[in-house]
Structure 1
Amino acid sequence: MGRTVLVTGAARHLGGVFVRRLCREPGVDRVVAVDARPPVSVPAEAVVVRTDIRRPSIAAVLAEQAVDTVVHLDVNAAAGPYGGGRATVKEINVLGTLQLLGAAQKVPTVEQVVVISSTQVYGSSPRDPAVADETRGPVAPAAGGFARDVAEVEGYVRGFARRCPDVAVTVLRLADVLAPGADGPMAAYFRLPVLPTVLGHDPRLQFVHERDVIEVLVRAVRGPDGLGPGTYDVAGDGVLLLSQAARRLGRPTVPVARSLTPWLGSVLRAFGADGVAGERFRALVHGRVVRGGLLQDALGGPLEYTTAAAFADFAASLGPGLLPPAVLGRAVDRIERAVRRG
């Protein structure tokens, strides 16, 4: 018999794309799409269950559907279809994960658990390594936010793995996901017509294309034949400076004093720019880069999209910004010619 895979966060963009891909995967008989909101983009052959993973009822879903593989995608920096503020996000991430793992521990059919995390667990400060890897443990910032959420989530996952040694556990630490339809905080940030930056800083950024994330998730579901248990950094090769990204988008930048960044998210929301939390700007100070060596070893090579290629595909879907690079280049050339004539 084939696998029965339960996917949380199915109403979000990434969850919907993964469910559609998984329904075509050989060896998977049934896909159970779970979310508190009804998914709108999952195929008819998926079993849709509308429930909140923060409630004990998720244990009944696992048992009734005889689930053997749990893929937990409902770990995010924004509330998404749930609505609500920071408190709701923390409940979904931390309490939802705790409830889900507790349910999985009680259901004997569960053989595999895959959980997404974030490279934000490595922190973003001048004291952190220039390039991090899986040997570095999570860093839970005292200020809280999504980075602290994923550090707590990974702590619960490690505890579950110790209590259930017969269950294969895989953790995928994702860099910022970009693609034409991506709905994460970094995608929302780059969709702003003008990009606020932190005065005096030009951070290194790293991205992963949504297609690569889906492929890695599918490989993880395949188990030892695809991606064995363990913790993996998932990021495209290379880096981009924020200034380079802004130029490639044709977006002007507005430097803001670092002391004002905690309020930037509220200011942007007041102007109708949802999805960009104030904590996002902490990552725009020093940036964060991971090596991704363990994943490349497991896959036999790098991901299909580099950081630059993932960003280029995302940028192409936005169209020209206020300062298209070609127009800006011609303007600079004209100024240079005028200066020489003068």
Structure 2
Amino acid sequence: MGRVVLVTGVANPFASVAARRLAEIGEAGDISRVIGIDTVVPPGDLGGTKFVRADIRTPVIGKVLAVEHVDTVVHLDVNPHRTRTGGSGSKELNVIGTMQLLAACQRSSTVAKFVLGSSSAVYGTSPRDPAMWKESMLARGGVRSGFPKDIVEVESYVRGFARRRPDVIITTLRASQILDPAMRSPLGDYFAAPVLPSSLGFDPRLQFLHLEDALAVLTESVLEDRPGTFNLCADGVVLLSQAARRLGRPVIPLPPLGLAIAARRVIRAAGADVPPDLHRLLTYGRVLDNAALREIFGYEPMYTSAEVFEQFRQQIRPGILASFGGTA
């Protein structure tokens, strides 16, 4: 018998693609079944993935683990777009869901591996940030609300689970934002807007992630044992000013205090929404050190941040967000 993999949040495009990729590997990678779970039916094709309509915030998740004999859990149901619903809604969907899932995994006699799709937002954003974030560093600001607060809490619960179940292999992937027209992301929505509000006096360094790199690392985490926490990002950075020039978008410099409101209004006018913490990223930027990914995990990113951005630029039309598929 091969691995039985459960993927959460498969109604979101990245989780859907990841589940389909794992199902395609199948017996060639020692995977016998892939089960995808979400509260709504995925809009796209899951391939050979078995879909179960269920809520990880309820005890039914424990029954799914037991009935399907799941031994590998891939938790991708932590979503930055949920911050627009407000504090309690975000906490319930991102944090409470993770707590219930971990409780079910702790009671399970079959779960032997847990892969968390985390985010670089765990480091926050502040003027005191280091030039590059290493996995051992702690946030210095910008994690008191919204999605950054959610992801900090999610990771803390996963660490608690690791102490209670030391027999379970845990891999945490702190990913930069995927920049791909098929995967909605806060930065993707921002760059697709007709004008780009920016913070007066700041030119933040931004880092991206290619979809194929994200899928490759996630797949490796399932097929092989890669315990630990890893920054998942492309090499290099793109300055916001460079991105604007390459897109041919006009930039509107605003005082930092006014950037949050302006960015939200501009992007909403284009038919999308943004998490309230995006303005901090557009002011201070964030760059990760991926040395551990290379040297310990053993993966060499295929694309640089500049190459990821260029592919994205070539595939989007100015001010058009309708081509984006769902949220991720």
**TM-score in same-fold range (> 0.5):** yes
Measured in 1, the distance between the counterparts of 2:312 and 2:157 equals 33
Distance of 2:268 and 2:210 partners within structure 1: 30
Who is 1:36 aligned against?
39
Change over 3 Å in CA distance of 1:124–1:43 after alignment to 2: closer
* Distance in 2 (alpha carbons) for counterparts of 1:178 and 1:270: 19
Q: How does 1:189-228 map to 2 (within 5 A)?
A: 189-224=190-225, 228=226
Structure 1 pair 164/118, CA: closer, same or farther in 2 (3 Å)?
same
CA distance in 1, matches of 2:152, 2:47: 36
Given that 1:223 and 1:229 are in contact with CA atoms closer than 8 Å, whether structure 2 keeps it comes out as no
Query: Residue by residue, what CA displacement relative to the aligned partner does 1:33-57 show, whole Å, maximum 9, x if unpaired?
Result: 1111101223342110111111221
SS at match of 2:300: coil
Q: 1:97 to 1:79 in 2, by over 3 A?
A: same
Of 66, 70, 79, 2:82 maps to: 79
Structure 1 match to 2:137: 136
Q: Give the superposition deviation at 1:71.
A: 0.2
How is 1:40-79 mapped onto 2 (pairs within 5 angstroms)?
40-79=43-82
Q: Greater relative contact order: 1 or 2 (C-alpha under 8 angstroms, separation 6 or more)? A: 2
Structure-2 change in CA distance of 1:319 and 1:261 (3 Å): closer
Q: How far apart, in 1, do the equivalents of 2:143 and 2:44 lie?
A: 38
Shift of 1:265: 5.6
Q: Tell me which residue corresponds to 1:329.
A: none
Q: Judge which range, 303-312 or 53-62, deviates more.
A: 53-62
CA distance in 1, matches of 2:302, 2:256: 36
Residue 34 of structure 1 aligns to which amino acid in structure 2?
I
CA distance in 2, matches of 1:184, 1:55: 27
- Residue-by-residue CA offset, 1:174-195 (whole Å, 9 max, x unaligned): 0111123121111111111111
Which residue of structure 2 aligns with residue 14 of structure 1? 14
User: Distance between the aligned counterparts of 2:35 and 2:107, measured in 1?
Assistant: 18
Look up the equivalent residue of 1:46 and give its one-letter code: T
SS at match of 2:80: coil
2:247 to 228, 246, 249: 249
1:313 pairs with one of 300, 311, 314 = 311
Match of 2:182 in 1: 181
> Residue in 1 aligned with 2:300?
302
| Counterpart residue identity of residue 15, structure 2 | G
Task: Provide the C-alpha distance between the structure 2 equivalents of 1:191 and 1:160, rounded to a whole number of angstroms.
Answer: 39
Normalising by the residue count of structure 2, what TM-score does the alignment of the two structures yield?
A: 0.91
| Contact 2:147–2:275 under 8 Å retained in 1 | no
Deviation track 1:259-314 (CA, whole Å, cap 9, x = no partner) reads 12343465246525323123111111111111111111135452001111111111
Q: TM-score, normalised by structure 1?
A: 0.87
CA distance in 1, matches of 2:268, 2:294: 42
In 1: Cα distance, 2:248 partner to 2:310 partner: 12
Superposed CA deviations along residues 114-168 of structure 1, whole A, max 9, x for unmatched, are 0011112122112111111111135574641111111111100000000000000
Name the CA distance, whole Å, in 2 between partners of 1:47 and 1:117.
24
More displaced, 135-144 or 24-33? 135-144
Residue 150 of structure 1: aligned partner? 151
What secondary structure, in the 3-state scheme, does the structure 2 residue paired with 1:23 have? helix
Q: CA deviation at 1:321?
A: 7.5
Q: Could you list the runs of 5+ residues in structure 1 that have no partner in the other structure?
A: 323-342
Aligned-residue identity in percent:
44
- Measure the CA separation in 2 of the matches of 1:46 and 1:61: 14
Judging changes above 3 Å, is the alpha-carbon distance between structure 1 residues 132 and 269 closer, same or farther for their aligned structure 2 residues?
closer
3-state SS in 2 of match to 1:284: helix
Worse-superposed segment, 71-80 or 167-176? 71-80
Gaps (5+ residues) in structure 2?
Answer: 321-328
Cα separation, 2, equivalents of 1:58 and 1:109: 14
In 2, Cα distance between equivalents of 1:141 and 1:320? 30
**2:30 corresponding residue in structure 1:** 27
